[in-house]
Amino acid sequence: MSVCFYGCVTLDGYLADKNHGLDWLHQTGAAEDTGYEDFYRRMDVTIMGRRTFREVESLGAPETVYPTTRNYVFTHDAAFSRTGFTPVSGSVPDFVAALGRDQNIWVIGGGTVLAPLLDCGMVDCLILQIAPVLLGDGIPLFTQQEALRRFRLEGVRQYGQFAELTCAKA
Would you say residue 88 has pLDDT above 80? yes
Q: pLDDT tens for residues 12-52?
A: 999 999 988 888 988 887 766 678 888 999 999 999 999 88
Bridge partners, 157 (sequence order): 164
> Does residue 18 fall inside a structural domain?
yes
Q: What is the mean pLDDT of residues 97-120?
A: 90
Sheet architecture: strand order including 85-88: 85-88, 70-74, 45-49, 104-107, 2-10, 125-131, 162-169, 151-159
> Does residue 155 fall inside a structural domain?
no
What pLDDT does 54 receive?
A: 87
The CATH number linked to 142 is 3.40.430.10
> Does residue 69 fall inside a structural domain?
yes
> Does residue 152 fall inside a structural domain?
no
pTM beyond 0.85: the answer is yes
Please tell me the total count of domains within the chain.
1
> Does residue 157 fall inside a structural domain?
no
* Domain carrying residue 97: 2-146
Q: pLDDT tens for residues 49-84?
A: 998 898 888 877 888 889 999 999 999 998 899 999
> Does residue 159 fall inside a structural domain?
no
> Does residue 102 fall inside a structural domain?
yes
What pLDDT does 32 receive?
A: 64
Q: CA of 14: how far to CAs of 9, 37, 41, 42, 53, in Å?
A: 5, 23, 26, 26, 18
The answer for residues whose C-beta is within 8 angstroms of residue 133's C-beta and 6 or more apart is 10, 11, 24, 28
Q: pLDDT tens for residues 113-165?
A: 999 999 999 999 999 999 999 999 999 998 877 788 899 999 999 998 899 99
- Cα 96 to Cα 122: distance, rounded to the nearest angstrom: 9
> Does residue 169 fall inside a structural domain?
no
